[in-house]
């Protein structure tokens, strides 16, 4: 059906937003050694903050994943992670996440939890839901905030429309990404403080369709793919295609990429 095709065309159109240069401005070793304390610092939201030290044991929370499939995948930050390879989340700490519930479409929250679980299974990263936040979803967010304490802000999933965020204009249904920043000590970089912004007006239309929950989950999963570091691919058989027309589940390359996304090095505590 033409109308269905149009809606499906909207479903996975997406822009990956991520910030390395904007959020982490070249910090030299001499800059970061303050008074003999060799802690890295970042400039975030106009403030210079010391990078929080990783807590807990540096051992994986969940086993690494063997994908069993291969195909197209790509990374937003191709180099610079712990132990080589792309920049990734630390698999030795739970990826905490919160929902900014303002404008969340009815029926979407279980879909969001399902999408998170799908990403966890495919990556071997543990996700920990911390509830609801009064933070307003923004890619300009501070990476460390008083409301979350002395640690990186959790991944925030929130809702805007194109008036609130022009990046969501037209066929763009969602935005996703994380910031690649150095660990507390040393040169390794890790993904932190991810953001997913869903166009709630588009999403209300999607989830209201027959089979809408599956389509909605695919939208959120795609954005979470960006959060864990995946970039778009040209192959339309993958969910990480920028404007997929039909898929509701991971393709073979998505699964290979997600497994790699979850197989990064751990930050020493
Ligand atoms: Zn995308």
Residue 208 lies in a domain: yes
* 269 found inside a domain: no
Ligand 1 centroid – CA 193 distance (Å): 18
Q: Is residue 127 part of a domain?
A: yes
Within-domain flag for 266: no
What's residue 34's pLDDT? Answer: 33
CA of 32 to the centre of ligand 1 (A): 34
Query: What is the distance in A from the centroid of ligand 1 to the CA of 59?
Result: 31
**CB 153 within 8 Å of CB 143:** yes
Give the domain CATH number at 56.
3.40.390.10
Ligand 1 centroid–CA 17 distance in Å is 8
CA of 221 to the centre of ligand 1 (A): 10
Residue 190 lies in a domain: yes
The domain containing residue 103 runs over which residues? 10-261
pLDDT per residue rounded down to tens, the chain (269 residues): 333 333 333 334 555 555 443 333 344 343 343 345 478 888 888 889 889 988 888 899 999 999 899 999 999 998 877 778 899 999 999 999 999 999 999 999 999 999 999 999 999 999 999 999 999 999 999 999 999 999 999 999 999 999 999 999 988 999 999 999 999 888 889 999 999 999 999 999 999 999 899 999 999 999 999 999 999 999 999 999 988 667 899 999 999 999 999 999 999 87
Residue 111 included in any domain: yes
In a domain, 114, yes or no: yes
Ligand 1 centre distance from Cα of residue 242 (Å)? 5
d(CA 83, CA 189): 10
Residue 160 lies in a domain: yes
Number of domains into which the chain is organized: 1
């Amino acid at each position: 059906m033409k109308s269905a095709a149009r809606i499906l065309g909207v479903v996975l159109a997406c822009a990956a937003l991520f910030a390395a240069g904007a959020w982490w401005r070249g910090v030299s070793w001499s800059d970061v050694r303050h008074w003999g304390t060799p802690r890295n610092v970042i400039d975030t939201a106009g403030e210079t903050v010391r990078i929080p030290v990783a807590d807990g044991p540096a051992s994986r929370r969940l086993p690494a994943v063997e994908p069993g499939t291969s195909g197209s995948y790509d990374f937003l930050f191709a180099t610079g992670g712990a132990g080589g390879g792309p920049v990734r989340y630390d698999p030795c700490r739970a990826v905490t996440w919160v929902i900014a519930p303002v404008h969340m479409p009815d029926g979407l929250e279980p879909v969001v939890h399902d999408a998170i679980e799908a990403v966890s299974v495919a990556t071997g990263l543990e996700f920990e839901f911390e509830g609801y936040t009064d933070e307003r979803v923004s890619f300009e967010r501070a990476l460390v905030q008083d409301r979350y304490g002395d640690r990186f802000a959790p991944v925030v999933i929130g809702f805007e429309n194109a008036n609130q965020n022009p990046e969501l204009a037209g066929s763009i249904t969602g935005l996703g990404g994380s910031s690649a920043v150095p660990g507390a000590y040393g040169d390794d970089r890790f993904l932190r403080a991810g953001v997913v912004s869903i166009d709630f007006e588009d999403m209300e239309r999607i989830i209201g369709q027959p089979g809408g929950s599956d389509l909605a989950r695919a939208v959120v999963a795609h954005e979470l793919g960006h959060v864990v570091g995946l970039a778009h691919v040209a192959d339309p058989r993958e969910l990480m295609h920028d404007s997929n027309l039909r898929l509701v589940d991971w393709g073979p390359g998505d699964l290979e990429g997600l497994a790699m996304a979850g197989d990064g090095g751990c930050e020493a505590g």
